[in-house]
Amino acid sequence: MAREVIVFEVLYSVGDDHPQAHGGAAGDGSFIFRSRSRREAEAFAREHAHPYGGPCEAREARVPARLADRWGV
């Protein structure tokens, strides 16, 4: 079995006036911020909007180490 690591993810969106407003995987300006640091992810979440309204939150994900490496975290 592949080694797993913990990554904290925050689903967030950018405003309609942002250059990436039509970017992201769904083309709707939503993105995922990822960090190995819970503190960093929670701070990021406080400063951004959730694509479907309400506050963002940092969620823990256990992912294969090779995937985290590909994401640069």
Structure confidence by residue, pLDDT tens digits, 11-70:
998 877 877 887 887 778 889 999 999 999 999 999 998 888 888 999 999 999 999 999
For strand 58-64 and strand 30-35, is the pairing parallel, antiparallel, or unpaired?
unpaired
Residue 27 tokens, joined: 């083309």
pLDDT of residue 15: 76
Which residues are 49's β-sheet partners?
13, 55
Distance of CA 12 to the CA centre of its chain: 7
C-beta of residue 3 within 8 angstroms of C-beta of residue 58: no
When comparing pLDDT for 6 and 28, which is higher? 6
Q: What's this model's pTM, rounded to 2 decimal places?
A: 0.85
